[in-house]
Amino acid sequence: MFLQLADPMVAEICAGAGFELVVIDTEHGPSGITDVISQLQAIAAGDTDGAVRAADHNPASIKRVLDAGRPRSSCRWSTNQSRRRR
């Protein structure tokens, strides 16, 4: 389940709905890092695993996601070969 709303209540509902994984999509949604942390806390209350899709390939953005306590994360699609090597 991809979650694009920046609302921890929606994240909690999704976590309790039986999905195996809820991905907070910061690439296509409005979630900032404080929203991500709140949503991850709401997901952790359920029986679902949470992940975060980083908004860009900026190492600082990815580190913020990792610092929020989410070792499972992904980056947006890249067609640039030099970016994929990083």
Catalytic annotation, residues: 28
CB 44: neighbour CB atoms within 10 A? 15
Classify 53 in phi/psi space as left (phi over 0), alpha (psi -120 to 50) or beta. beta
